[in-house]
């Protein structure tokens, strides 16, 4: 008997004005200890199928199946007691966003213990003991302390580990991981994936890995199911899917994995489009101390120098909290820098008043990650796109709409979209609108803050191509902020790596991928998921202390500068700077 | 925590001072005085003498500090409209009925409202939900004097189960308590329902289901506790609003409570009583918000642990 048996599963959601089919007759089986990846984009039905298996769908869902069995139990007919036994015991789940997956008002220890007690009826003390061991198993060092922590006191990576510990607490036969690393930084993602693989082997569990990321699939599973619009496109062993894909959709997905490097054309010229000189941001943090407040300084960004030449795309990469977004916002003067200069085409705009800044605003624009909240829901697309013209009082109302319609064309949307509203569009379409709005004024500098990280792989590739095309057409200079190294590789000319609020390495894109120098850059590159299951390897991860200890060393001969005992950015090759210690 | 409470008490004192100045100034900036001809027909000479006797001829700041000095010694003066007793005596006499009836109204209404809200949230879009929703809409939209009138009409006149009004015996308290409870029931039912629905839609509830907890445990341990956080902030302030008396309810049921004095003290320019009533309410709201904040911090670990704002 197989652990999971699904045959002709159909799920539809009742909605106002009809039903939406989310899953249209899929089927697969899973044996004990086997690992299966389900890959597909948002709305493909991959999560819904697994939720149906756990009976976690809302009451508006209608589920029918010729066969839907988990651990020998017919899920469609399961009663309350069966469900309690199936959930957590036969199969456990981990979810995408660990920050919202724990109840915020109970400690981690309480939440793990309650699972153990509910299923196995152990004593409180026994449960606590076991919870601590589980936390240790998922490589949380201060497990004893973490038991008493509330969720908000832990980072996303730590919470996802705790989530895994909780899932393991009843020794489930099947672990369902629903996009377990999508909300995490690249380096943390690699660690969590490795942990899941280790634990699956150790506990002899079966694994279903739900993801939109083929890299995650290549890293973790034996067998793959490709889903598209509620149907299975193809399924087979992971090597077969990667080496000999049958279906067009699979081929398209694979193509997005292998984006190559392509330099921007157009001359650089002397005066850079944007130059940040010693730009820094310090936040004052207020802490209570006795009757009064104590202030401490937090340096979000330390003195940073970044040059964005004309006609070039510079990428800023780093993990959350590295200061990359703050740098982008400061460059736009949307966040006031504490010190430093911002030179837009040679003019220092860092001290200008709001009024004096206005003409410069035409020449620099920004696109954000979340296109949904970046567009006014009460305005039509043509109003949204034309708004910058309106603000800067350019042309008549008729001319403004005409131009906005042209821009709908230019970003690849049909003119008939003009009178639609943002909620009627998909994520990719909305991002196109945001791009049109930012470029309608004909700026010379565009700051793009993670514009593709909320999008599906295939859509992401389209948006990147669009940005690349518009960059060439308009002679744009783009500051591209991202944590996604594969996107950075295919789009940018130069990469700036930020770590803990400072630049640790900067080099031409090809060079930084081929010969990274700083230990953090190396760690970042090493964490990128492989593009083929054949390249799977065991990774070792550096702690912050290890990274600090491994600061590169050069001699004054290499750098042509004087010696520095403290780590400083030094040039070691043309356009290649790295934070290093220089000895005589 | 103790330090926090101490800090908050200090800020209560500051608030109290600022509010007292504002009230005092506003009270005296209203045109007219306690012995104007249209109120009490007295001759100009007598009026002058009365004003001097009560210290009303002195500059405002002198009057203010004199009054506040008295307040610090629990001397709120003598009400002009009832010179036979002190303000404190009048308040302690009139407040008893208001406190008993209003307090009982909230004590009855809040739990009932919460239960109704829970029932509505757990049975969303069923007849239970619709009934609860209709109930709370009535409680919020129909003025309390209409509710009082209907109560009197049905239970006192038609059914003749209960006396219609008055204070002396406890059986006369039942109808006003029900009238008082209407608003808390309605408000709490609405708040609880939306807080519960909000919590139920959060991802951690799915996680709790996925790990195999029973639905009862999920609702009563996790969802309720999370939903309680926004509710605490409305509980005590509402209690005060009700416990200081309602002019309408007290008038409808002819209860010798505090409510009527709010109007008469302003109408008659009864400065000592007006000031005392305002200060009392200010003080109670300050304390209520302080208590709410403490309870809020106690049930919300995000504030309690590492709470550096």
A308-350 pLDDT, tens digit per residue, is 999 999 999 998 889 999 999 999 999 999 999 999 999 999 9
Interface of B with A in 227-256 (CB under 8 A): 229
Beta carbons of B203 and A95 less than 8 Å apart = yes
Q: Where are the alpha helices (DSSP H) in A314-378?
A: 324-331, 354-361, 371-374
Give backbone dihedrals phi and psi of A349, rounded to 5 degrees, phi first. Answer: -105, 5
Mean pLDDT (chain A, rounded): 90
| Banded model confidence at residue A477, pLDDT cuts 50, 70, 90 | very high
Q: What residues 99-128 of chain B have any CB closer than 8 A to a CB of chain A?
A: none
Give yes or no for residue A539 having a pLDDT over 90.
no
Q: Are residues B160 and B40 in the same domain?
A: no
A80 touches chain B (CB under 8 A): yes
SS3 B152: helix
Whether B58 is covered by a domain: the verdict is yes
Closest partner residue to B309 among A92, A286, A290, by Cβ? Answer: A286
Residue B26 lies in a domain: yes
Which of A37, A395, A552 has the alpha carbon at shortest distance from A404? Answer: A395
d(CA A341, CA A350): 5
What A251-258 contacts at long range (C-beta under 8 Å, 24+ apart), as own/partner pairs, is A252/A458, A253/A39, A253/A214, A253/A226, A253/A457, A253/A458, A254/A214, A255/A461, A256/A214, A256/A457, A256/A458, A256/A460, A256/A461, A257/A214, A257/A215, A257/A486, A257/A531, A258/A531
- Cα separation values, B159 from A143, B151, B255, Å: 67, 10, 22
> What's the full length of chain A, in residues?
584
Judge whether B77 lies within some domain. no
Over the range A193-212, which residues count as b (16 or more CB within 10 Å of their CB) and which as e? bbbbbebbeeeebbbbbbbb
Same domain, B115 and B170: yes
List, as ranges, residues 275-304 from B with C-beta within 8 Å of A: 299-302
Strand partners, A19: A14
CATH number at residue B150: 1.10.3720.10
CA distance A481 to A22: 34
> Where residue B36 falls among pLDDT bands split at 50, 70, 90?
low
Please give the radius of gyration of chain A, using alpha carbons only, rounded to the nearest integer.
26
B186 & B249 share domain: yes
| Closest in A83, A86, A105 to B226, CB measured | A105
State the sign of the Cα–Cα–Cα–Cα dihedral A516, A480, A271, A562. Answer: negative
Could you tell me the domains of chain A?
Answer: 4-257 (3.40.50.300), 274-514 (3.40.50.300)
At which of B18, B41, B72 does a domain end?
A: B72
**Does residue A467 have a pLDDT over 80?**
yes
Q: Which two tokens stand for residue A52?
A: 């149906």
More confident residue, A517 or A531: A517
Chain A closest-CA separation from residue B136 CA (Å): 26
Residue of B nearest to A87 (CA): B212
Q: Is residue B82 part of a domain?
A: no
The pLDDT value given to residue B309: 34
How many domains are contained in chain B?
A: 2
Q: Å from A89 to nearest chain B CA?
A: 8
Are B13 and B111 within one domain? no
- Residue B80 within any structural domain of the chain: no
Asked if residue B171 and residue B23 are part of one domain, the reply reads no
CB contact under 8 A, B207 and A152: no
Report the interhelical angle of B174-200 vs B144-151 (nearest 10°): 130
Same domain? For B37 and B143 the reply is no
Q: What percent of chain A has pLDDT over 70?
A: 98
pLDDT in tens, A258-307: 766 777 777 767 789 999 999 999 988 777 666 667 788 888 999 999 99
Give the orientation angle of helix A156-168 with respect to helix A186-203, to 10 degrees. Answer: 10
Q: Is A378 on the interface with B (CB under 8 A)?
A: no
> Distance between CA A563 and CA A559 in Å, rounded?
9
> Taking a C-beta distance cutoff of 8 angstroms, is the pair A225, A9 a contact?
no
Does a structural domain hold residue B78?
A: no
Q: How many CB atoms lie within 10 A of CB B125?
A: 9
**Which is higher by pLDDT, B55 or A188?**
A188
Q: Are B27 and B98 found together in one domain?
A: no
Give the residue numbers spanning the domain of B49. 2-72
pLDDT in tens, A108-157: 999 999 999 999 889 999 999 999 999 999 988 889 999 999 998 888 88
Percent of chain B at pLDDT exceeding 90? 11
A80 to chain B: nearest residue by CA?
A: B214
pLDDT above 80 for B4: no
Do B171 and B52 belong to one domain? no
Q: Are B245 and B117 contained in the same domain?
A: yes
Instruction: Read off the pLDDT band of A256 (50, 70, 90).
Output: confident
Candidates B6, B207, B309: best to mutate against A (most CBs of A within 10 A) is B207
Element holding A582 (H helix, E strand): strand A576-583
Is residue B299 included in any domain, yes or no?
A: yes
With CA atoms as reference, the chain A residue closest to B210 would be A87
Q: What is the pLDDT of residues A37-90, one digit of tens each?
A: 999 988 889 999 999 999 999 888 899 999 999 999 999 998 888 888 899 889
Residues B295, B153 share a domain: yes
Last residue of a domain, one of B20, B44, B72: B72
Based on the domain organization, do B64 and B105 belong to the same domain? Answer: no
Q: Is A365 helix (H, G, I), strand (E, B) or coil?
A: strand
Look-up: residue for tokens 């510990």? A165
Q: Which of A480-484, B53-57, B219-223 has the lowest mean pLDDT?
A: B53-57
Q: Stretch A536-560: mean pLDDT, rounded?
A: 85
Split at pLDDT 50, 70, 90, the class of B89 is confident
B96 and B52 housed in the same domain: no
Asked if the C-beta of A118 comes within 8 angstroms of chain B's C-beta atoms, the answer is yes
Report the gap between the CA of A157 and the closest CA in chain B (Å): 17
Per the listing, tokens 């195999």 go with B212
Contact yes or no for B46/B53 (Cβ under 8 A): no
Contacts of B244 (CB under 8 A, 6+ apart): B98, B102, B258, B259, B280, B281, B284
What's residue A288's pLDDT? 65
Q: Do B211 and A88 touch (CB under 8 A)?
A: yes
Q: What are phi and psi of B254, to 5 degrees?
A: 50, 60
Contacts of A92 in chain B (CB under 8 A): 210-211
């Amino acid at each position: 008997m197989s652990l999971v048996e699904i045959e002709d599963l159909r799920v539809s959601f009742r909605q106002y004005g009809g039903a939406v089919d989310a899953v249209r007759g899929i089927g697969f089986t899973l044996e004990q200890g086997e690992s299966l990846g389900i890959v597909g984009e948002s709305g493909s039905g991959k999560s819904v199928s697994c939720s149906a298996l756990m009976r976690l769908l809302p009451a508006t869902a209608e589920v029918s199946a010729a066969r839907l069995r988990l651990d020998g139990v017919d899920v469609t007919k399961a009663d309350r007691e069966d469900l309690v036994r199936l959930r957590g015991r036969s199969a456990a789940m981990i979810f995408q966003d660990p920050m919202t997956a724990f109840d915020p008002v109970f400690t981690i220890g309480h939440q793990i213990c309650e699972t153990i007690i509910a299923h196995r009826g152990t004593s409180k003390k026994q449960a606590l003991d076991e919870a601590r061991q589980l936390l240790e198993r998922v490589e949380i060092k201060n497990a004893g302390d973490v038991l008493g922590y509330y969720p908000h006191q832990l980072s996303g990576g730590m919470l996802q580990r705790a989530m895994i510990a909780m899932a393991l607490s009843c020794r489930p036969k099947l672990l369902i991981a629903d996009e377990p690393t999508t909300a995490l930084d690249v380096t943390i993602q690699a660690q969590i994936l490795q942990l899941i693989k280790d634990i699956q082997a150790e506990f002899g569990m079966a694994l279903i890995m739900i993801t939109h990321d083929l890299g995650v699939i290549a890293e973790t599973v034996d067998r793959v199911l490709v889903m598209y619009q509620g149907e299975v496109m193809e399924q087979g062993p992971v090597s077969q899917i990667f080496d000999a894909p049958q279906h067009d959709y699979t081929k398209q997905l694979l193509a997005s994995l292998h984006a190559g490097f392509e330099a921007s054309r157009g001359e650089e010229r002397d005066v850079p489009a944007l130059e940040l000189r010693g730009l820094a941001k310090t936040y004052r943090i207020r802490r209570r101390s006795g009757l009064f407040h104590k202030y401490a300084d937090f340096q979000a960004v330390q003195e940073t120098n970044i040059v964005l030449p004309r006609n070039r795309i510079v990428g800023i990469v780093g993990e959350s909290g590295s200061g990359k977004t703050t740098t982008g916002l400061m460059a736009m003067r949307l966040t006031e820098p504490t010190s430093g200069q911002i030179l837009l085409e040679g003019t220092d705009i860092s001290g200008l008043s709001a009024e004096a800044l206005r003409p410069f605003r035409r020449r620099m624009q920004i696109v954000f990650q979340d296109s949904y909240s970046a567009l006014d829901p009460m305005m039509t697309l043509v109003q949204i796109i034309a708004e910058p013209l309106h603000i800067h009082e350019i042309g008549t109302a008729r001319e403004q709409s005409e131009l906005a319609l042209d821009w709908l064309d230019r970003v690849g949307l049909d003119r008939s979209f003009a009178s639609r509203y943002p909620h009627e569009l998909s994520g990719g379409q909305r991002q196109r609108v945001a791009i049109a709005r930012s470029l309608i004024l004909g700026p010379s500098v565009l700051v793009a803050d993670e514009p593709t990280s909320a999008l599906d792989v295939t859509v992401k590739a389209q948006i990147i191509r669009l940005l690349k095309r518009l960059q060439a057409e308009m002679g744009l200079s783009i500051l591209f902020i991202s944590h996604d190294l594969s996107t950075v590789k295919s789009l940018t000319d130069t990469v700036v790596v930020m770590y803990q609020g400072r630049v640790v390495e900067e080099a031409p894109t090809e060079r930084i991928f081929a010969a990274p120098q700083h230990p953090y850059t190396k760690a970042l590159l090493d964490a990128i998921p492989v593009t083929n299951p054949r390249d799977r390897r065991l990774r070792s991860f550096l702690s912050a202390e290890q990274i600090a200890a491994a600061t590169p060393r050069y001699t004054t001969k290499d750098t042509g500068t004087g010696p520095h005992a403290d780590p400083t950015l030094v040039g070691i090759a043309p356009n290649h700077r790295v934070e290093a210690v220089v000895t005589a | 925590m103790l330090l926090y409470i101490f800090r908050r008490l200090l800020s209560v004192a500051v608030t109290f001072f600022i509010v007292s100045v504002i009230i005092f100034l506003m009270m005296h900036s209203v045109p007219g005085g306690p012995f104007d001809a249209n109120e009490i027909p007295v001759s100009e000479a007598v009026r002058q003498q009365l004003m001097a006797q009560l210290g009303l001829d002195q500059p405002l700041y002198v009057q203010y500090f004199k009054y506040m000095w008295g307040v610090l010694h629990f001397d709120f003066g003598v009400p002009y409209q009832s010179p036979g007793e002190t303000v404190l005596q009048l308040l302690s006499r009139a407040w008893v009925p208001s406190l008993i009836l209003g307090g009982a109204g909230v004590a009855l209404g809040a739990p009932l409202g919460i239960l109704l809200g829970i029932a509505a949230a757990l049975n969303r879009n069923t007849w239970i939900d619709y009934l609860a929703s209709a109930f709370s809409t009535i409680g919020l939209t129909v003025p309390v004097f209409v509710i009082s009138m209907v109560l009197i009409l049905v239970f006192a006149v038609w059914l003749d189960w209960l006396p219609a009004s008055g204070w002396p015996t406890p059986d006369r308290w039942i109808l006003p308590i029900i009238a008082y409870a209407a608003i808390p029931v309605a408000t709490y039912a609405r708040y609880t329902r939306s807080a519960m629905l909000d919590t139920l839609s959060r991802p951690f509830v799915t996680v709790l289901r996925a790990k195999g907890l029973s639905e009862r445990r999920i609702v009563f341990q996790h969802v309720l506790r999370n939903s309680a956080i926004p509710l605490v902030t409305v509980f005590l302030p509402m209690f005060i609003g009700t416990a200081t008396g309602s002019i309408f309810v007290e008038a409808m049921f002819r209860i010798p409570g505090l409510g009527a004095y709010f109007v008469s003290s302003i109408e008659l320019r009864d400065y000592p009583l007006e000031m005392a009533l305002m200060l009392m309410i200010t003080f109670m709201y300050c304390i209520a918000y302080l208590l709410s904040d403490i309870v809020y911090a106690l049930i919300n670990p995000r504030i309690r642990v590492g709470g550096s704002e």
